[in-house]
Structure 1
Amino acid sequence: MDIISILKQDYQKFPADQTYSIYAENVYFEDPLNKFRGINRYQKMIGFMSNWFNNIQLELHDISQSGNVIKTRWTLSWTAPAPWKPRMAIPGWSELKLDTNGLINSHIDYWDISRLDVLKQLFQMK
């Protein structure tokens, strides 16, 4: 199975049953809140999300590959663990770089909204 097909499946079932074998052991990850190296840290971050947030969905809007670079466009949404259960969402995109073995050795997420805009969603009463 090719890496694009695997990523599409992983997005559909995120955060459960992710295919960590497509990542290099020392993968570099960065988003507006985190910056680290290592597949173990990456697994812990996803585990934290699945333990802390409810009804997580990672909707894949687009995926493309050019050489050793894969770009995805997505919306991550979840229900926050607050008594009023606000639904929150981050639209964004990822740039994944493959090493010579075809493994993802760099995964950088970019958000289309600011961290403050994300935080504001927590306090929107509906």
Structure 2
Amino acid sequence: MAFLLPNLSPCLLQPKPFHPTKPFSLSLSSPSPSPSPSSSVSVSPALSSVETPTVQGVEVGTPRDEQDNQHRDDFFVNLGLAVRTLREDMPLLFTKDLNYDIYRDDITFTDPLNTFTGIDNYKLIFWALRFHGKILFRDISLEVYRIWQPSENMILIRWNLKGVPRVPWEARGEFQGTSRYKLDRKGKIYEHKVDNLAFNFPQPPKPAVSVLDLVTACPASPNPTFLWAPVDVQPSSWVEFYRAVRETLDRQDHLLTQDGFLPCS
């Protein structure tokens, strides 16, 4: 081995110098000796920060599904608030005012004989129920039987209204009904319809009847009954109650603030 070392070429024995690798860049230019700025394209990290193009002011990267999902979430939040508020407000109908945040300003109230529109009229209806209920009845209350949803945009409440008139010759009376609340796309109530009324009033006194006959009432049917009998045949506190509420709406300009109830102009 020793005799081979002198015969090796000197270039093989000397180590080659190390040169660091230069940054790689790609440049596309025209073959002309002096390329113009418009004829060259360089690939650089700046290309990674290109802004998302817009079409008619709407960012392409924003899906419509997100907005639809947000609207659906708002609807169900307001729907849950409406159900909870109705469950709390209805049994206290004759003792305190309602929470009107769940209703639209153009809400429509409808019963078998009348239709009223506007949140002011809606507030006045419940003011009149409380006011005249205290005048005509010693005790009056509303019991909620059931709250359910037959469809996504509707809430149904089955209730029973009971009252003891102040006059001694009338026994306790009651009637059942259904309130239908319709909701818009935002979950706000825009219509309240009272129907499916079934009256359970005791009959007027007759010869040879017991007290039990006066208070016994026929069971209310869950099907639409609309037992809206002629009210002029047998006047009672309930008829006077309905008339008083109706006349309150007709003469709302003459009402005065009373008992802390809603002031009407």
TM-score interval for Structure 1 and Structure 2 normalised by the shorter chain: 0.7 to 0.9
What RMSD in Å do the two structures reach over aligned CA positions?
2.4
Flag as ranges the 4+ runs of structure 1 deviating above 6 A: none
Distance change >3 Å, CA 74–CA 89, structure 1 → 2: same
Structure with the higher helix share, 1 or 2: 2
Superposition deviation, residue 46 in structure 1: 1.1
Report which structure shows greater RCO (CA 8 Å, sep ≥6): 1
TM alignment of 1:61-100, pairs within 5 A:
61-65=145-149, 66-80=151-165, 82=167, 84=169, 86-100=171-185
Superposition TM-score, scaled by structure 1 size: 0.82
Unmatched segments (≥5 aa) in structure 2: 1-79, 200-226, 238-265
Unmatched segments (≥5 aa) in structure 1: none
Superposition TM-score, scaled by structure 2 size: 0.42
Deviations 1:29-82 (A, max 9, x none): 111242111111111111111111133311110101230111111112233454
Aligned residues: 123
Structure with the higher strand share, 1 or 2: 1
Identity across aligned pairs (percent)? 31
Residues 27 and 106, structure 1, Cα contact 8 Å, conserved in 2: yes
Q: Distance in 2 between the 1:88 and 1:100 partners?
A: 39
Residue 43 of structure 1 corresponds to which residue in structure 2?
A: 123
Distance change >3 Å, CA 87–CA 34, structure 1 → 2: farther
Select 1:106's aligned residue among 172, 180, 191: 191
Give the SS at the match of 2:229: helix
